[in-house]
Every structure is written in C-alpha cells, then in structure tokens.
Structure 1
Amino acid sequence: MTDQPVLIATDGPVLTITINRPDKRNAINADVLAGIAAGYKQAHADPAIRVIVLTGTGDKAFCAGADLQPGRGMGFGQDRPNSDYADLLRLSQNATKPSIARVNGACMAGGMGLLCMTDMAVAADHVVFGLPEVKVGVFPMQVLSLLQDMVPRRLVAEWCLTGEPFTPAEAVSAGLINYAVPAQDLDAKVAWLANRLIDKSPMAISRGKYAMRAIRAMSFDEAIAYTEAQIALTAQTADAKEGMAAFAEKRKPNWGHT
C-alpha cells in the first residue's frame, strides 16, 4: 500500500485521501489525479462517509504542484489541455459531501487548486503557499477558476502575477484557509472541524452544497427565487422532519443516510 501514489483510508464517517509521493513533494501526476478522483467517488458511493479529508504524506509538502518531469502525463508542453486536472476540479465542485484540506506542508501551483477544490482548510503554521507558474513561463489558469471566487481580486492578481510565496497568516486573512495552527495541533484541529460536520444532517449539507454552487452565477433576484423553492423542498425531507421532532423532544436527531 505504501508505494501507491494515493492512499485512501476510512475512519468511521471520515474518508481520508493522502497524496503519497513524499520524494516528489507530493507532486501531481496522472496517477495522483486518478487516485484523488477515486477517493471522491468512493466517498460518495458509501452512505456511511460524511466527510472527505485531503492531505499529503509527511510534513514537507501538501502538494508542490504538477510533476514537470518528462513523461509524467500532466499535459504541459503538449498540444492538448490538461483535461484530467480540470476534470478533477469539476468532480470536486459537483461533490455533495463536505471536504477539508489538511495542509501539512508546502502548497504550491497545482496544489493550490487541490486546496481550493475543498470546502474548508486547516494548515500547519510552517506551510508556504504560492502560485509560481509565471516563473517558468506559464500561468495558473485552472487554479484561477476556483481561486477567483474565494479570494479578493487584488490578492488574486498579486499572487498570480508576481508568483511570490505567502504565509498561512496571509492565507487566513485572505479567506483561502479557515485556520492555521502549530504542526503538532494539525490533526486535532482537522478532527475538531470534521466532528462539527458529522453530527449534522447529511441531507441538508448535500442540498446546501448544491445550492451554494448553483447561486454563484445568479443575480439576487434569481438566487432568492431559487432558494425560496429549495427551502420549501428541504422542509419536506425525512431529515427535516427528524430534526424538528428531535428538537421538540429534546434529543439528538437520528439522521438517515443520503
């Protein structure tokens, strides 16, 4: 198992996807993309899984970006786009289960896209972030598709156009990550955040994630009409009825699986 480029492990309701190429700073290649996608699909096929955690092996790198060595299958310098990476970002955006990035080390270039594709993120306070693509004559095009909705425009411009690194404190301030903690507290903080998700309604989270994505491209009038209809539909679900009953009976709800 340890020589696999991506490791998938479950611990109760949490499925953890670990990029396992520490000798390459957990750089992305075709096998890594396939492995992460397989993890997302496995999580969604198993109703017992409530949270996905994405991380890297070791403490040096979460993901240093694409493996630029010849023959690694990432598509750079070829006459076609890197569709596998784009397809993974598409898959993540259609996910209905919440995800957390456990950023254990350097998060650079394409690794920033993996960070951005999760719903929440916790980073160790020694981590370095960056989008250095301009230093090698390319640009973080696909990362930009997610980053631009997450971080203020002028910071996006600074990070992408200068290619210079930035700190976890700056990442928190920008809204790129939720928390930065000492490395020894990283697992505890990720577990704390995951536990705040797994006792909530899986149906409400699933529908809520779908709605949050749907309204991004809507005007206010479109969004309020859409969400008005969605709240009415959500209120008729088994989870909503169970949640209301549990509240009235002063007990913990017994959620069904989605």
Structure 2
Amino acid sequence: MSNDAVIIEKRDQALWITINRPDKRNAINAGVVEGITSGWKQAHDDAEVRVIVLTGAGDKAFCAGADLQSTGAAFSFDFSKPNVDYADLLRLAQNATKPSIARVNGTCMAGGMGLLCMTDMAVAADNVVFGLPEVKVGVFPMQVMSLLQNIAPRRLIAEWALTGEPFDAATAREAGLLNYVVPAAELDAKVDWLAKRLIDKSPTAIRRGKYAMRAIAAMSFDESIAYTESQIALLAMTEDAKEGLKAFVEKRKPVWPGK
C-alpha cells in the first residue's frame, strides 16, 4: 500500500513505513503525515504485524523536517482546529501498543527528530547528522520537545534547540536518542536483528507492557507500584503467559496465541 508520499509494505511480521520523497530529503508534508498515520493504524489492525519500522527512501535523509519549499505552507494552520495533524500523529504513536523502530538512514532534522522520538527504538547509520534548526527560520521545535524532553538531557536539548546547530550520530547515541549506531552498510542487518528480537516474544506481554509503561510515566512511585502490581496479576491470566510458562517447563519455544 502507498500514497504518493509514503510506502507501506508488510515484510513477514514487520510493517515497513517509508517516507518516499527522496528528492525533497523526505520532508514532511500533509501526505507524509497522512501516510505514516495510516501505517500506524494498519499495523494495529493486523494481528500478524508484530513490529513497525519507520524509515526514509534513499540514503541521504531519514526526514529533514517540514517541507519549506512551498512558502508558508509548512506553518499554515487552520486556527479553528485545536489539534494539528503532526501533533496527532505523535499522540497516536505515544499511545500505540505495538513496538516501533526508527531506521535512520540519513539526515534527521526538525520534525524528523519528532518522528525519531515517537518510535520505541532507533538504529542509525554512523554518518547521519541530526539537529533542531528551527530557530534559523524563525520558529521553534515546539511539538518535538514534548517527546524529546523524556529522552535526552535537558541541557543538551537547550543547546540543540536554542543554537539550531547540528550534531553527529555518536552524540545522539550518548544522549539516548539511539539504541545503536552502525556503518551504513550494516544498517539493514542491525534493524532486522532488532526486529527479530521483538517478533519472537509474547505479543500480549509487549502490548500490555507498552500500555503500562505509558500509564506510569507521569505517576509517583507509590501510584506506579500500586498500578503495576495489579497489571502483573492481570497479565498472568492471559493465554500468552500460560503458554510461556508451559513452554519453559517443557523446554521448548513458545507458540504465542497472542491473547
């Protein structure tokens, strides 16, 4: 499946979402937001899909941010609407219950940083350049910060956002933006390796686990521990938990019912 801006394809138990505007450095426009949103929803509607992989076409850019070529279009809003489509995409990803991986194959800037941050894990090529250059065009990475603040150190975010200057993949890895940095030639192999480590695990445990992780993010310890002790009791009653324990005792690989 695809629209002009995004290609959606199922590869075994992974759903790949590829921003398909390499001539525009995979910049975000309405079609990109619509396509990624559609892909995220499709993945959750398909029980066979176990992981989402988000990437960009070509080898130059993952996503260079909003498309600034059409003067004013990138920051043209319908002020009668309380929600912005890009922000709604970030909300959708935050509340998702299937794991996602960003395959960062090239430049990752501005709104592209938001797409990176909305995934659960990320693998980048070692030549990728990152940045929040919005101040250079008179705006600020407002929506990106909503996710970034929970990933990277505060002082680094301040430097990136206030100076607008780029940084490299090693810095991104040290700041917690990336799980792995590999040579470009090894990017696909590392993404596949990480995806397989998710696919062979209990889909029910992952689904309920992601839900719980999201729920406790804003809780105090006392609230969190009370919530999670009830959640582990519920999880223990699922078919996946029963199959997992049975398989352990029988010394075999579990066959997950996903229930």
* Same structural fold, with TM-score higher than 0.5 when normalized by the shorter chain: yes
- Does residue 137 of structure 1 match 2:138? yes
Matching residue of 2:213: 212
- Does residue 241 of structure 1 match 2:237? no
Matching residue of 2:44: 44
Structure 1: which 4+ aligned runs deviate by more than 4 Å? none
Distance across 1 between alignment mates of 2:35 and 2:65: 15
SS in 2 for 1:70: coil
**Aligned residue identity for 1:163:** G
Distance across 2 between alignment mates of 1:2 and 1:226: 40
With over 3 angstroms needed to count, the CA separation of the structure-2 counterparts of 1:242 and 1:78, relative to structure 1, is closer
Cα displacement string for residues 194-231 of structure 1 (whole angstroms, at most 9, x for unaligned residues): 00000000000001101111111100100000001100
Distance across 2 between alignment mates of 1:13 and 1:37: 19
- 1:141-152, aligned counterparts within 5 Å? 141-152=142-153
Matching residue of 2:32: 32
Matching residue of 1:11: 11
Matching residue of 2:67: 67
In the alignment, structure 1 segments of 5+ residues that lack a partner are: none
Quote the RMSD (CA, aligned, Å).
1.6
> What is the TM-score with the length of structure 1 in the denominator?
0.96
- 1:138-217, aligned counterparts within 5 Å? 138-217=139-218
How far off is 1:256 after superposition? 1.2
Cα displacement string for residues 151-190 of structure 1 (whole angstroms, at most 9, x for unaligned residues): 1111111111111101100111010010110000000000
SS in 2 for 1:213: helix
**Aligned residue identity for 2:58:** G
Verify the 8 A CA contact 2:117 2:147 in the aligned structure 1: yes
How far off is 1:69 after superposition? 2.8
- Does residue 104 of structure 1 match 2:105? yes
In the alignment, structure 2 segments of 5+ residues that lack a partner are: none
With over 3 angstroms needed to count, the CA separation of the structure-2 counterparts of 1:25 and 1:52, relative to structure 1, is same
**Aligned residue identity for 1:201:** S
Report the number of matched residues.
Answer: 257
With over 3 angstroms needed to count, the CA separation of the structure-2 counterparts of 1:72 and 1:183, relative to structure 1, is farther
Distance across 1 between alignment mates of 2:76 and 2:174: 35
Matching residue of 1:20: 20
With over 3 angstroms needed to count, the CA separation of the structure-2 counterparts of 1:247 and 1:69, relative to structure 1, is same
Cα displacement string for residues 238-257 of structure 1 (whole angstroms, at most 9, x for unaligned residues): 00000000000000000013
Verify the 8 A CA contact 1:43 1:52 in the aligned structure 2: yes
> What is the TM-score with the length of structure 2 in the denominator?
0.96
Distance across 1 between alignment mates of 2:164 and 2:92: 27
SS in 2 for 1:188: helix
Distance across 1 between alignment mates of 2:101 and 2:185: 18
With over 3 angstroms needed to count, the CA separation of the structure-2 counterparts of 1:201 and 1:72, relative to structure 1, is farther
